[in-house]
Every structure is written in structure tokens, then in C-alpha cells.
Chain A
Amino acid sequence: MSILFVFLGSLLGMIVGTLPGLSVTMATALLLSLTYSWPTEYALSMIMGVYVVGVYSGAVSAILINVPGAPSSVVTTLDGYPMARKGQATDALFLATIYSVVGSVVGLLCLGLFAKPLSQLALSFRTVDYFLLACLAMGALSSLSGKVVASLLLGIFGVCLSFVGLDPITGTQRFTFGITSLQAGIPLVPVLLGLFGLSEALTMIHEERGVHFELFARSISVKKALSYLPFSLYYALLGTIVGALPGAGTPVASFLSYSQAVKRTKNPKIPFGEGAVEGIIASETANNACVGGALIPMLSLGIPGDGVSAVMLSVFLVHGLRPGPLFMSQSPEVFGWILRSGLLASLFLLLLGLVLAPRLSMIAKVKRSILAVFVIVLSFIGAYSFNYRSFDILLMVIFGFVGYAMKSQKLPTAPLILGLVLGPMMDANFRRSVLLMGEKGLIQYLASPLTLILLGLILLLALLPNYRKRSHDGDL
């Protein structure tokens, strides 16, 4: 019976993730209210369905229309959309599906087998380690497009945007210039919708008025697709660990993985940014592995790893469960439900991805201007639904125009999002570390194994070259 609910959830997740403007967190919050009086097992089954499939399905719209369905799919647009433009949408979707399943399963296996040690690892991350992790991910700025300088500058701009509002450490207002509505800061989702959604819609209407893309049948064989499995495992583990860190979520995992892929892949058949499958694989594996990862601290410590697991936490509490360090020993059957529904949802992901996604790629054939109207309306609704503020729609529109200007100048939009996501992690944790350093000297404070490893990684990656075409006024 709960299988039915996992399936319903998976279906819902597929819809929610594919449509820009609807997010998994939103759907989970809705389910929180909806399932208040349901038996716990059914509620959790449905939520796991939405969670697992929802994180994946952001890739569908990312690939098909260059509009990420969620912040974690931003990187998938970088190589997924170019593939769609060349008529290879089916291939891209196929890979995204398979590797999302891989990531999901790895994450859940880690949850099932290594929850305790991994949550201890997560606890040992101090604020300085979060800061270093953010720096590591910021290194992705140089890998997102051929225009490195522009990417860096846009990344800086994104970080500045993230500073708007109340400073979390001192409560001082930054960059608000007296505008009350800015006090809460610049929210991620409306900006994402504007920068990617609205701007793309504007481009669709003009540049490609009657254009639609070719759609070739799948050309990648199953064997070929699976040959990337060893490659993907690294990103699955990366995603799981990042997910297990409270405060770092799927966007961090996918950006970090993409930048790693760019540095580590010596000779991609197609360069990154023009349809390198390695890019799609890395980011999709990582963001689904994050799901299992985020559940680790949630179930073993009662500390959510990301937004969705935070809502799940309240689902537990509402149903009388008590998440915390004793949870796994007190309610082992719930743990089992979650694992089972997660794995089941991964199976449904595979099915839905293989069966539905190719049908959905028919969207690539719809007249762009009609699609555009649809995307614009969804962006409006999505921007409003995020926090029930009309001001966010204004932000969305502004960034829509900004994004359109950027796209017409062939500037990359992803770095801005990266900066917006990582800014607070870098700034707040740096300053917290200073506070926590206390009287200890800098050297003594840094002298913990984890911190040294992270420092080493940053140095190493800074020195490795990028396997990416550098360009100044060529294509992205």
C-alpha cells in the first residue's frame, strides 16, 4: 500500500521538479499539511517519492528549455542545453536519469550502512571547514564558462547580492539603502527564476520565434552509458558528504561536482559547455546523492541537512516521532520505511525517467513563443509562492531583464547564482571562525586533520589547469 504512495509522490516530484517555479521544498511543505492526519508510513513514503524524483526532475527542464527546475540543476543547463540544441535531448535525459538513480542509491546506501560514522564526520566540520568548503566550491567560478574574468566578476556580484539584508553575525543592515523589503535579503528562487527563466523566455520569443529543435532518437547505448559508472561514484560520494553537512545543500553539491569534473576530466569528447556528458553526469549524480546524505544527520542526530529534510523533521514531530540521537534505536521501523521508500522512489525515478522523459522532450518541438508565455507565467507564480511576497516578483522581473541583457552579451548566468548561494556560507563562517578562534593562534586553530585536508585540496585544485576552452568573445 505504501508503494502506491511512493509512486504518487514520485509522480508529484516529477511534475514539481520539471516545472520551473515549483520546488521540492514547496511540495514537501504542502505535503506536511496534507498528510497531517495520515498514518506516518504513508506520509513518509509520499514525501520520499517527491524528494528523490523532484531533485532529479529539475534536470528535465534544464536540458529541454535551459531553465533549471531547481537551483541544483543550474549546472546541468551548462552542458544539457547545448546537447538539446544539437538534437540530443533524449541522450542527455537518458544520462541524467541513469545517474540520478546511481546517486540516489549510493546516498541511500550510505544512509543505511554508514549513518553513524558519516554523521560524526559531519559534526567534525567546524565553521572554518565550511568556509574552506565554500572557497573550494567558489573555485568552480573558473570552470563555468570560457570567460573566466567575467565569471569571476559575476561571482563577486552574486556574493554581494547575498550580503543584502541583515548581517547574520552583527545584525547590521547591509546594502539595503533604506528599502525595507530588502531587509530579508535577496531570495534565491525568484532570482533564479528571473535570471534563468524569464531571460530565457525573452530570448525564446525574439531570437527563436519559429524555431524548434530537432529531436533525434537515443543514440547512446546502455552499455556506453553505464561505462561512466566508475566516474560517477566519486561524485556520488561527494554529494553524499556535502548533503550530510547541515547548511550545505544540493546546489553546493552540484556546483562543486561540476567544477571537479571540469578539472579532472582530461579529454572530454566534447568540451565542457558544449555538451560534455561528464558535466551532466557529475552534477546529477551529486545532487541526488545529496538526498541520502541530507537524511543522515536528520535521522541520526535530528539535525536536517537541507531545506527538505527540515520539513521532513516537522513531519516526524507532527506524527509524534522524536528525531534525535536516539531515533534510530527507538524507531528502527521508521528508518526502514524511509530507506525502502527512498530505494523504491529511485526505481520509479528510473521508470519515469525512461518512459516519461522522452515524451517530455517533445516540448523541445513546441513553438518557442508559446513555451515562453508559459515559462513567464510560471516564473511569476513561482516567484510569489516562494515567500508570498509580491516584491519577489519585482526582483524576478528585474533579474529577468538583467539576465536577458547578459545572455545577449553572451555572458554566463550561472556564476551569479553560485555567488548568491555561497556568499553567506563564506562570509558568515569566516567571521564565526574568527570568533571561535579566541586566544588560540591561527596555526593552532587550523591544525586539525580535516581543515588541513581541505586547505590542501584548495591549493591542489587552484594549481591544476582547466580542461576547458578559454574564450573571450566566442560561444559560452
Chain B
Amino acid sequence: MKKLSLLLIFILLLAGCSSQDFPNRSVQLIIPYSPGGTTDLVARAFAESFSKELGVDVTIINQPGASGSVGTLAVHDAKPDGYTLLVSADSLGIQRVMGLSTLSFGDFEPILLLTNDPKVIVVGKDSPYTTAGELFNAMREKGLSMSYTGPGGSGHVQALLYESLGAKLTLTPFPGGLDAIVALLGNQVDFTNSNASVVREYLESGDLKALAVCGSKPLQIDASVPLLEDEVEGAKELMDMPFTPLSLLANKDVPEDVLETLREAAKRAVESEEWKNYIASSGQETLYTEYSTVEEMKSFFSSFESRMSWLLYEAGVTESSPEEFSIPRP
């Protein structure tokens, strides 16, 4: 009997979780991708600074699967107390039309828009193409092969945009960005479009050559790489948005004051020395400077979702039409 009551008290003590001020225990960041990827690295760098500003431990949990939908769902289903947050990549914008899940950016409250990793067109060091212009001409005339990371990914989006400029492409999917690069290094494909932070080392060693940046700003790590819009007619309108936005999101029903605390801490975290050093050395762009209020973030998400969903739908690669989810045309 004595043991039983001791046991009961023990269990009660463990179960009891006083609800004092937020946060009073560790916060979990769920990353819906495997460790080692860009999302994971950005999240870990962020978690270091974030944890100092929040005053509690911030632990990272990787829940990869189904293009990010597994981890996303986990945060959506978790208790809306602000202790479980999501670091999302671009796939959340197209999960509905691709039939991966019923979730989208609108199902979450944004805390902070983190970074964007600019897409860069790269070829092997022995490639016959030295400018993006030459590459595109070849794409239009005879067609080229490109490695990418699978249907719906940012690489795929790029390929569709190039096709709208007249390119003919044979796309070969690989499990991840690095694998796509390996295929290029092994001369199995003609080119690929990679994220800047991933491809940096190969540019420096000369194993890969960057022919263009697919964005409106020059690359931090190598300002000499031309913008695609300067090399190819008609690219400007297509390349004017971030394609790989990483964002920190919370469950929709988290109370407003908790959200405020999180937002404040996040803003301060990205002002820290360590974070700034990380950004400078990785070659990524910051998004929070451009989209800092909640309204700006939400409107970014909806226009992102709009453009991506309709682009993919019109290329015929989606499961359903954006109309079914009332996604407006861009």
C-alpha cells in the first residue's frame, strides 16, 4: 500500500506541469527533413541564438518524410502551447495541390521568415557552355538533361520556368541536392540548379562553374556570377521572388501573447553576432529584413503559394487544381 501511494505521488509529480509564464521549459523545433540538409543547418544555427533570447533550451527534432509533410503534420497536431514549432521550407506552399497533405502556410501562424538560399545554375568544369546564354540556346535547340530533387521541389519549379522560356529538358530526379550535384560531377547530366549554400565549395574548388543566379540580387559569395535576367530574355519577371524560403511557424491556435514572446525573441535572435556570422559565411539571403511584420509575412506566403501552385498545375504535374483549395491566380 505504501509503495502504491509513493508510486501515485511520483506519477502525479511527473504529470504536473505548472503553467507559469511562457516559456518555462524547453521549446522544440521540428524540422521535417533529415539532419544535414539546409533546413536543418539553418534551424540549428537559429536555435542557438533563439535559445539565448528565450532563456530556455531549444531542442531540434528531425521528422523527415513525404517531402516535409510528416513533420509539418506533427506540429499541426501538437498542443497549441507554443512549445512545438515548425521550421518549414518551400514545400508547404504546394503540399495541397501535390496531394501530399491538406496543410498549407495558412494553417500556421508565422513567427519569422528566415532565409532564402538563392538558386544557381551550375555546370561541370569540363562543360562546353561558358555562359547562361549559351546554355539556354542549347536547351532551346537540342534540349539538355538536368538533375533535380524531385517533383514539386524548387529545382523542379526552376525547370518549369526555363521550359516556359522555350527550353527542352530531360529531368532526372535524385534524393537530395547533394545527390543532384554528384550526378553533375559524374557527368551524367548537363547541368543542375542548386542552392548557393550547397554549391559554394564546388565553385571555389573549380569543380563546378556557376553560370547564373536565378534571382534579383547578386550572390553574396560571388558577386561576379551574372543574374539570369541579364543573360536570357524574359527571365526577369520569372526570377523576382525567393524560391527557397525557410520560415519559423507555430500552430494556429497558439495564444497571442505566446506568439508575441516568440516573435520578439526571434527578432532579437537574428540580430545576434553568431547568426550574422553564419549568414555571411553560408551565402544565403535574409528574408526577415524584407518581410518583417505579420501582415507582410502572410501576404508573402499567399502570393508564394499562388504562383507555385498555378505554375505546377499548368505544367500538369499536380494531383489537383489550385481552384479546389480556393487558391487565387497570381
Binding site for B on A (CB under 8 A): 29, 32-33, 36, 123-127, 165-166, 168-171, 173, 180, 183-185, 246-247, 301-304, 307, 310-311, 313-314, 317-318, 320, 322-327, 387-389, 428, 432, 435-436, 438
Contacts and interface: CB of A to CB of B under 8 A. Distances in A.
A124 B170 CA distance: 21
B188 A311 contact: no
Given A126-B188, A325-B201, A432-B172, A318 B45 contact: yes
Contacts of B69: 183-184
A311 B98 contact: no
Contact of A125 (B59, B60, B186): B186
B128 interface: no
B218 interface: no
A52 B207 CA distance: 31
B189 interface: yes
A310 B35 contact: yes
Interface centre among A36, A173, A311, A324 (most CB of B within 10 A): A324
Contacts of A311: 35-36
Nearest to A322: B201
B150 interface: yes
Contact of A166 (B66, B185, B204, B205): B66
Contacts of A313: 36
Given A168-B150, A171-B151, A247 B98 contact: no
Given A125-B186, A180-B101, A303-B181, A432 B74 contact: no
19 contacts: A36-B48, A126-B188, A127-B172, A127-B183, A165-B66, A184-B69, A246-B178, A246-B182, A304-B178, A307-B34, A310-B35, A323-B201, A325-B201, A326-B205, A387-B64, A432-B172, A432-B173, A436-B170, A438-B145
B9 interface: no
Contacts, number: 123
Given A29-B62, A318-B41, A324 B205 contact: yes
A369 B47 CA distance: 44
A446 to B, nearest CB: 14
Interface range on chain B: under 10, 10 to 19, 20 to 34, or 35 or more?
35 or more
Interface of B: 34-36, 40-41, 44-45, 48, 59-67, 69-70, 73-74, 98-101, 145, 150-152, 170-175, 178-179, 181-183, 185-186, 188-189, 200-202, 204-205, 207, 281, 317
Contact of A171 (B45, B150, B181, B204): B150
B173 A169 contact: yes
Contact of A387 (B40, B63, B150): B63
A324 B204 contact: yes
Given A169-B173, A183-B66, A246-B179, A318 B44 contact: yes
A184 B179 contact: no
A11 B101 CA distance: 42
Nearest to B48: A36
A36 to B, nearest CB: 7
B181 A166 contact: no
Nearest to B99: A173
Contact of B63 (A29, A320, A388): A388
A327 B145 CA distance: 29
A314 B70 contact: no
Given A123-B182, A438-B170, A304 B175 contact: no
B70 A184 contact: yes
Contact of A314 (B35, B66, B173): B35
A120 to B, nearest CB: 10
B150 A304 contact: no
A173 B186 CA distance: 30
A432 B205 CA distance: 28
Interface residue SS majority, chain B: mixed
Contacts of B74: 388-389
A324 B201 contact: yes
A-B pairs, top 7 by smallest CB distance, nearest first, are A324-B201, A184-B65, A171-B151, A325-B205, A310-B36, A183-B66, A184-B66
Nearest to A187: B65
B45 A325 contact: no
Contact of A317 (B41, B100, B178, B205): B41
B34 A310 contact: yes
B201 A435 contact: no
A180 B95 CA distance: 13
Contacts of B185: 123, 301
A387 B188 contact: no
A436 B189 contact: yes
B60 A33 contact: yes
Contacts of B34: 307, 310
Contacts of B186: 123-126
Given A126-B186, A169-B150, A311-B36, 13 more contacts: A33-B44, A126-B188, A168-B175, A183-B100, A185-B65, A301-B182, A302-B201, A303-B182, A311-B35, A314-B44, A320-B281, A389-B74, A428-B175
A317 B40 CA distance: 11
B192 to A, nearest CB: 13
Contacts of B174: 432
Nearest to B189: A436
Contacts of A307: 34
Given A32-B35, A313-B36, A326 B201 contact: yes
A29 B62 CA distance: 9
B179 A327 contact: no
A433 to B, nearest CB: 9
Contacts of B182: 123, 246, 301, 303
Nearest to A169: B173
Contact of A247 (B35, B175, B207): B175
Given A170-B151, A185-B65, A304-B36, A436 B41 contact: no
Contacts of A428: 175
A302 B205 CA distance: 12
A429 to B, nearest CB: 10
Nearest to B197: A317
Contacts of B183: 127
A466 to B, nearest CB: 33
Given A166-B67, A304-B178, A171 B188 contact: no
A125 B185 CA distance: 11
A67 B93 CA distance: 42
A311 B60 CA distance: 13
Contact of A436 (B62, B172, B178, B317): B172
Nearest to B149: A168
Contacts of A323: 201
B103 to A, nearest CB: 11
A185 to B, nearest CB: 7
A436 B145 contact: yes
A8 B35 CA distance: 23
Nearest to A297: B182
A387 B205 CA distance: 36
Nearest to A320: B281
A327 B66 CA distance: 33
Contact of A326 (B150, B204, B281): B204
B172 to A, nearest CB: 5
Nearest to B174: A432
A183 B67 CA distance: 10
Nearest to B172: A435
B170 A435 contact: yes
Contacts of A123: 182, 185-186
